[in-house]
Amino acid sequence: MERCHPSEVYELFVRHMNTPRVVVDSGVCATATLVQVHSARKHGVLLEAVAALSEHGVCVRKGYISSDDGRWFMDVFHVTDATGRKVADADALLARLESSLSATAAGDALPRAAGPSVEGLTLLELVGADRPGLLSEVFAVLHDLRCNTVEARAWTHGGRVAALVFVRDEETGAPIDDAARVRRIESRLRHVLRGGARGVRTVLSDASAVGNLDRRLHQLLNEDDEADSRAAAATTAVAVQDWGERGYSVVTVSCRDRPKLLFDVVCTLTDLDYVVYHGTFDTDGDHAQQEFYIRRSDGRAISSEAERQRVIRCLQAAIERRASEGVRLELRISDRRGLLAYVTRVFRENSLSVTHAEITTRGDMAMNVFHVTDVAGRPADPKTIDEVIQRIGTESLRVDEELWPRLCSAEGDAGRGGGGGLFSLGSLVKKNLFSLGLIRSCS
């Protein structure tokens, strides 16, 4: 029998010790599936766990994060499907969590969301001032330059837009890597965005290296100084307080609940280089409250008013830019050349503005989602929506009326947004949410 070298044995031991342990149990709680993650303290593991839950399509109803302030964490999540029921396939959720967390423990980047492969594609990163019809112009330029858009994500917030567009050559299906052609594409798109060199960036390396697309969109908008200065007054209540006795900064969030809310908060804190040591999150109907005890990666708490305001501003923006405005339209149709240019031109010609877009191609089918408002940002006229559907095709384009989009609507939220209901400093400790009793609690 061949013996392993001592260094290989040690490497296997370290990998085993650092690999997070996951438990998924649907029998403990009557109303939710319980997920427990035990892991060594490593920057990004919490984010990966939350990302895996989000991409599996489950909703985190409540939970907590506990640490011994040393090397180990225990994260507990009470999750349901979008309809509020227990997760049907607990084994699939367990497999997804174990796969994602094992990759993170091995030092890999945060994986991208599930979807078609982006290998062999060229990635365009776009940031600029938003305006009605902008995406229509972008897709028209790409079609004119014989670029086939395979996948794309676009978010707008505070008068700014960020987009990730994966393209390939329309004729050959190969990546676009000719330097002269790349410069021509970038020049045309910068003209559309009416911005300088920061407006367009082409990633010529393996486009799959971008990792999680939602995280990258957050990063692009957080790096965009103009997005901060132009953002409208926030309606999400965020506070940052000091707990000098224990060396923590305490972040509290109170807002309307929606899918991926926990991901957006944890992602922002992680990318701002903070570590969450303790935390609790809970939902009451359509309202969410969260509290996190954080330190910077160097172990220090927030030390200045400017830093505190930056954390508040970035968290408010991250939460609100995901709250999709407008009517959600789903397009499922056979893919063809110029499809996106045509569809978005129909939107523009009917005075509809796209606030969010998710473009996906699987095989020969295009499966796209658009959130649209009128050009002033108000709810679109139902008659206009009906005309657009008739023009594009009643069998291909439909209004999505699923439960979550209705819950996430901004209508009727005036009573929630003003900042009421924030946790008080130390409430997490006072309520003893780190006790194992929470694991059994379903109320």
73-89 as b/e: b if 16+ CB within 10 A: bbbbbbbbbeeeebbee
Higher pLDDT, 96 or 441: 96
For the whole model, what pTM was predicted? 0.82
The mean per-residue pLDDT over the stretch 331-347 comes to: 96
The mean per-residue pLDDT over the stretch 134-147 comes to: 96
- 8 pLDDT more than 80: no
The pLDDT value recorded for residue 204 is 52
CB 335 within 8 A of CB 368: no
Could you tell me the pLDDT band of residue 105, with boundaries at 50, 70 and 90? low
- What share of the chain has pLDDT > 90, as a percent? 52
Q: State the Cα–Cα distance between residues 199 and 335, nearest whole angstrom.
A: 28
The mean per-residue pLDDT over the stretch 393-414 comes to: 60
- 237 pLDDT more than 90: yes
| pLDDT tens string 123-140 | 999 998 899 999 999 999
Q: State the Cα–Cα distance between residues 298 and 296, nearest whole angstrom.
A: 5
| pLDDT tens string 367-397 | 999 999 999 989 999 999 999 999 999 999 9
CB 233 within 8 A of CB 259: no
The pLDDT value recorded for residue 423 is 46
Map residue 218 onto helix, strand or coil: helix
Higher pLDDT, 273 or 111: 273
The pLDDT value recorded for residue 417 is 43
CB 159 within 8 A of CB 358: no
- 81 pLDDT more than 60: yes
Q: Residue 91 burial by CB count (10 A; 0-12/13-18/19+): exposed, middle or buried?
A: exposed
